[in-house]
Chains A and B, each alone.
Chain A
Amino acid sequence: MSTEKWNRRQILTVTLGVALCLSLAANVYLSANNRRVNAQLGAQRQQALSDVVSAMVDIEVNLQKLMITSGAAQSVSLLGETALLARHVETGLSQLPMRYEGASDAMKFVGQVGQYALSLAVQLSDGSMLSDEDERQLSDMLGACQALNAHLLSVGEKLYAEPVEAVSAIDGDGAMSWPEEAIAGESAIAYPSLIFDGPFSDARTEGQPKGLTGERAAREAAREAAARYAGVDVSRVRDAADSGGPFEAFGFTAQTDAGALSVQVTGVGAHLLWMMPEQAAYAERLSQEECLRRAQEYLAQRGFGEMEPCFVQHYDGMVVANFAAVQDGVLLYPDQVKLQVSMDSGAVVGAECSQFWMNHTLRENLTPAVTEQAARDALSARLTVISSRLCVIPTGTEEKLCWGFEGQYAGTTYWVFVDAHTGEATEILQVADTQDGEMAL
């Protein structure tokens, strides 16, 4: 009996001992693994930082060279290389563990350097030289580049001094930070303000919606509008969260027979801003054509004016169609409304109208200076044209009246847009077939 008791105790001790050893071994293994992963992560970030610094130094040298180049071809080549390097720096910066407030200014500046370089390269491609204003901007950029480089180099030194700790320092909210200071915080470097025609120009701000007209609506008027857009009685509309920004809007939830719809109605004029079904996936009973017909009817009945479908997809039992406004037969691509039509009931269950309200206004000068035939002659002979249409397209900060051609080459469909005032090809889009429908690239 006592032998058995002793044996029990012995077995228990042995079991606990084995468990302890195993847990210690697992701990040692996991910490070693952790160290390896940390070291690898640290190495990757050090490499990203080195790449960023080296590309920034090349940008700095290129900007200095630009100041003294005498030939346009040389300038264009330096600017092209600078744009590529800026892209490289942006990618590298995003891999570094920085806080937004520090990283975002550096990233914005580098993005602008790249866009500015490209924009200047286009400007100089006709053989013209740098203007005094260009020189001033290049000189400002150079100063900011030098300051950013000096900062990145000092961060690099800290990173090499304490590689693992520096990369694994995680703050309370999950964002990683550098040991002492954020890279190039707003106060650290004064970045120049760059104005040019490009997607990242400082001149391009959110702007005011051109299409929003009418008085500021009261909540009850907006509720009635929401009921009209959702196609239900006003008693089935209840309040939801409002939204701010350039489109200040009232929020509602409308209870339809096929589920709830979230609806936002603009404060100015009580127009539909967006609508979204809370339920996913509808049965597919109706055809795409029938759904498009219902969508067009919806737009006409709710005062959107003349609109045509320009792009159609279908997923989850919904036809998702983009409609563009039409003025004097010209298709206005910037003034788009997107609608989702349930293929089960044919009801419009979703809408996105912010682009429409931002851009919709009466256009002047929709008469082309270039004939359709002359524009067609500017196209590549390899493109087989299927159809053509006069349209307005958005280009960076402005818009252009263009002849739009749908054509085919090697089994792929393209849309080519030729400026209807100058006859120059402005934009080429490739149409790709996806499982949801077509998309333009």
Chain B
Amino acid sequence: MSRCRKRAVRGITAVLCALMMLACVPRAEAAVAWGSRGEQVSQVQRKLKQWGYYSGAVDGVFGQATYNAVVSFQKNNGLTADGVVGAQTATAMGLSLTGTVAASSSAASSYESDVELLARLIHGEARGEPYVGMVAVGAVVLNRVKSSRFPNTLAGVIYQAGAFDAVSDGQINLTPNEQSRRAARDALNGWDPTGGCLYYYNPATATSSWIWSREVRLTIGDHSFAV
């Protein structure tokens, strides 16, 4: 009898857990982790240095030393020691991951946030593609910014309604890896493997007849790049 009750309790708990997981799926938090760069990493490093967890340079680059320091901080504060500064760890450090503190120059920090935004789009749209294909996706975004047929800011192009699947399915909120960041910088520095393309699509899955009518200039990995 008691075994039955236990089984019943376990069953109900499992159902509850599944429902809770379902409710949690669409949420994605910004996080600072291994490979991250920028002012948020510097803030984390400054705090950890202040409290004696970190002895390296405050250089805005999240590497081994920063990772070790974050893990020690998490262990000492009863947090999950995963080395990722997510919402809970950031709160424990007294930091906000969404509100970035202004860098020395607002223009410089605006450039760095452009790198980050483009890197997130590239990560969401083209991770797993050859490196050239990742730069090409970044170049398409920047070609759109330059084109009169699209919004003329980076955020305007990326968040244009229905423009990118990574925005519609929330993958743009994943933390980009180092390769995506380098692809974003290369694209912002003018590398354009597509020669001015404005569109890309996967020929295996694209259903729009309009997209098939565009002139394809280059195919890299799974993507055809077109004007």
Binding site for B on A (CB under 8 A): 4, 7-8, 11-12, 14-15, 18-19, 22-23, 26, 30, 45, 90-91, 93-101, 104-105, 107-108, 111-112, 170-176, 200, 206, 241-247, 249, 251, 262, 264, 274, 276-281, 313, 315-316, 320, 338, 350, 352, 354-355, 412, 430, 432-436, 439, 441
What chain B residues lie within 8 Å of A176 (beta carbons)?
161-162
* Chain B 72-110: CB-based contact to A (< 8 A → 1; otherwise 0): 000000000000000000000000000000001101100
- With contacts A7-B1, A174-B162 known, is A108 near B148, CB below 8 A? yes
* Chain B 180-195: CB-based contact to A (< 8 A → 1; otherwise 0): 0010011001111111
Task: State whether B220 touches A241 (Cβ < 8 A).
Answer: yes
What chain A residues lie within 8 Å of B107 (beta carbons)?
430, 432, 441
* Chain B 185-216: CB-based contact to A (< 8 A → 1; otherwise 0): 11001111111110100000011101100011
What chain B residues lie within 8 Å of A244 (beta carbons)?
195, 215-218
Least CB distance, A363 to chain B, in whole angstroms: 22
Give complex CA distance A97, B159 in Å. 11
What chain B residues lie within 8 Å of A175 (beta carbons)?
162, 208
Binding site for A on B (CB under 8 A): 1, 4-5, 8, 11-12, 15-16, 19, 22-23, 37-38, 60, 104-105, 107-108, 111-112, 130-132, 135, 148-152, 156-157, 159-162, 165, 168, 178-179, 182, 185-186, 189-197, 199, 206-208, 210-211, 215-220, 227
Least CB distance, A320 to chain B, in whole angstroms: 6
User: Nearest 4 A-B pairs (CB), nearest first?
Assistant: A104-B149, A245-B195, A94-B151, A200-B148
- With contacts A281-B178, A352-B191, A432-B105 known, is A19 near B218, CB below 8 A? no
Give complex CA distance A170, B168 in Å. 11
What chain A residues lie within 8 Å of B227 (beta carbons)?
245
What chain B residues lie within 8 Å of A111 (beta carbons)?
148, 152
Task: State whether A90 touches B193 (Cβ < 8 A).
Answer: no
Least CB distance, B148 to chain A, in whole angstroms: 4
Task: State whether B192 touches A354 (Cβ < 8 A).
Answer: yes
Least CB distance, B28 to chain A, in whole angstroms: 15
Task: State whether B160 touches A173 (Cβ < 8 A).
Answer: no
Task: State whether A262 touches B132 (Cβ < 8 A).
Answer: yes
Task: State whether A338 touches B189 (Cβ < 8 A).
Answer: yes
What chain A residues lie within 8 Å of B60 (beta carbons)?
435
What chain A residues lie within 8 Å of B197 (beta carbons)?
245
Task: State whether B218 touches A90 (Cβ < 8 A).
Answer: no
What chain B residues lie within 8 Å of A112 (beta carbons)?
148
- With contacts A7-B1, A23-B19 known, is A94 near B104, CB below 8 A? no
- With contacts A95-B161, A108-B148 known, is A245 near B111, CB below 8 A? no
Task: State whether A350 touches B191 (Cβ < 8 A).
Answer: yes
What chain B residues lie within 8 Å of A90 (beta carbons)?
151-152, 156
Task: State whether B195 touches A247 (Cβ < 8 A).
Answer: yes
Partner of B149, one of A4, A15, A105, A280: A105
Task: State whether B165 touches A104 (Cβ < 8 A).
Answer: no
Give complex CA distance A95, B161 in Å. 6
Partner of B131, one of A26, A104, A280: A280
Give complex CA distance A441, B11 in Å. 61
Least CB distance, A17 to chain B, in whole angstroms: 11
Partner of B8, one of A15, A173, A245: A15
- With contacts A90-B151, A243-B217, A439-B111 known, is A96 near B190, CB below 8 A? no
Task: State whether A7 touches B4 (Cβ < 8 A).
Answer: yes
Task: State whether B108 touches A94 (Cβ < 8 A).
Answer: no
Give complex CA distance A95, B60 in Å. 34
Least CB distance, A271 to chain B, in whole angstroms: 14
Partner of B108, one of A246, A274, A278, A433: A433
Task: State whether B15 touches A245 (Cβ < 8 A).
Answer: no
Give complex CA distance A123, B37 in Å. 46
Given contacts A175-B162, A276-B131, 16 further A-B pairs with CB under 8 A are: A11-B4, A14-B8, A19-B11, A94-B161, A99-B162, A100-B199, A107-B149, A108-B149, A174-B165, A245-B227, A276-B135, A277-B131, A280-B131, A320-B189, A432-B108, A433-B105
Least CB distance, A252 to chain B, in whole angstroms: 12
Task: State whether B148 touches A246 (Cβ < 8 A).
Answer: no
What chain B residues lie within 8 Å of A91 (beta carbons)?
151, 156
Task: State whether A15 touches B191 (Cβ < 8 A).
Answer: no
What chain A residues lie within 8 Å of B159 (beta carbons)?
94
Partner of A94, one of B135, B160, B206: B160
Partner of A22, one of B16, B131, B193, B194: B16
